[in-house]
Amino acid sequence: MNRRLFLRNGSLAGFALTTLGTTACTTEANTKPAADTAGEGAAAPDSFELNEATITGLQEKMANGQHTARSLTELYLKRIDALDKAGPKLNSVIEVNPDALTIADELDKERKAGKVRGPLHGIPVLIKDNIDTGDKQQTTAGSLALAGHEATQDAFIVKQLRAAGAVLLGKTNLSEWANFRSTRSTSGWSSRGGQTKNPYILDRTPSGSSAGSGTAVSANLCAVAIGTETDGSIVSPSSCCGLVGIKPTVGLLSRSGIIPISATQDTAGPMTRNVRDAAILLGALAGQDPADAMTKENTGKIQPDYTKFLDANGLKGKRIGIEKRHLEGASGAIPLFKQAVELLKAQGATVVEVEVDKPCDPLGEAEYDVLLYEFKDGVNKYLATANASVKTLADVIAFNTQNKPKAMPFFQQEILEASQKLEDLNSPKYQAALRKSHLGARQILDAAISSNKLDAIVGITTGPARVIDLINGDAGGGPGSSSPAAMAGYPHITVPMGAVNGLPVGLSFVSGAYTEGPLLTVAYAYEQASKKRIAPQFQPPFVG
């Protein structure tokens, strides 16, 4: 399959479009529930005490004694029981941390003794199930082949979270192997965790591969969550679940202790309900790790506090590039995009049309080759030192074949098999593909930014979520913004832009390496001027 088509069909990035009509979200605040505007047949308003809670708001509740880290953790655990395991059965949390309440108690003791580590002290966080935790939780990438695997130590970013005082609430389901198993995969499905649902309309995909993190944050099952991305897997589920997602510059955050796809494109990142929380979480995660050589490049480029970039008037005087391709076509997201462009101008930005997506199209095959080569190399290195019973990619393929009824009931593993057949990273084909995709994407983005003196390039993150289809897998195509930044290793932020028939769509902000701060400025200014986040109400499927 053509790599570009593969991404747009959602097997890795989770892109999806519908031909439904457009309905712009017109809420006055980020906390207005969808039921307020959903009309006849809408679900009952959600009265959860911590609905749409922010990190700052939760800190205030703990500071004034209204809540403790333990009481917050208990409320979120009850919420998971009520909505994820029962009720609409969102299926976004693959397991809860048996030590979560113990961690919360210890952090409450610290607070009582006068020690508050920072803005994440006592804040319950969910993390994706491809990120190691050196505790009683498993790390499986959603694969039955890794079931029972408990890492011996925390991933670097998990160490950062613990040091910041976060409560590790549990792990989220994902598209198995981060959606790098089959060209006909279904986003949000794993053989270990089953199918995650979109909390807005329950028969829709949450998009992949950080599907569980997207659904969990959107449904208020946690304060914030961590996802990972190779190409679209943070920003696409964030877009489809009405969230803010940050795919940082590759190298800003360590990847050690994370089950890999690509050494040149992988990164973890925040998934939150607002830009401020994303900025707080990004600062806590960033750091230099001797075990990840890529982080050596972030020397002097990490900001300990990214909230200093948040300025409600931050669009004034900025030059914003508008992706030309996203102004054309029949997608229901395009009218929302045009409205967003007008808002950018109203907030003082100068906008110019640019063309980045189309020039990057020819790089798609090379990107796919890069990922195939790097996946085999990375997975073999990860499994070689893991506690799992499988020690190589070949072992995973054999396990899936031997356990086909459970491991592959809907789609196969042709991507794993294609990767296994390749040579090592000394292959001239790999080296050529890496130059074409990585350097090519950087040249295209850099040229657009420098020639137009841009502060950011904006586009549609992805279209509204499609119906879950376990038989045919993800399908669809159309505007999407993930690949250029993913191939280049550049930062990408998505912010809620509106909705198409109740299904969220995000607006993307992209720029050059280590420009997370300036991107947060324009993303925050857009968010504050637009207020498009609406809490989900778990609507049943449409009936024709």
Enzyme catalytic residues: 128, 209, 233
Q: CB neighbours of 352 closer than 8 A, spacing ≥ 6?
A: 319, 320, 321, 322, 452, 454
As a 3-state breakdown, the chain gives helix, strand, coil percent values, each rounded to 5, of: 40, 15, 45
3-state per-residue secondary structure call for 490-510? CCEEEEEEEEECCEEEEEEEE
Order the strands of the 93-96 sheet from edge to edge: 93-96, 167-172, 124-128, 224-229, 267-272, 244-247, 492-500, 503-510, 456-460, 319-323, 350-354
Local structure of 350: helix, strand or coil: strand
Q: CB neighbours of 344 closer than 8 A, spacing ≥ 6?
A: 315, 320, 351, 458, 526
Strands (E), 173-302: 189-190, 194-195, 224-229, 244-247, 267-272
Residue 457 class from Cβ within 10 Å (0-12 exposed, 13-18 middle, 19+ buried)? Answer: buried
Both tokens assigned to 335:
């009218």
Local structure of 96: helix, strand or coil: strand
Residue 284 class from Cβ within 10 Å (0-12 exposed, 13-18 middle, 19+ buried)? Answer: buried
How far, in Å, CA of 130 to CA of 134, rounded? 13
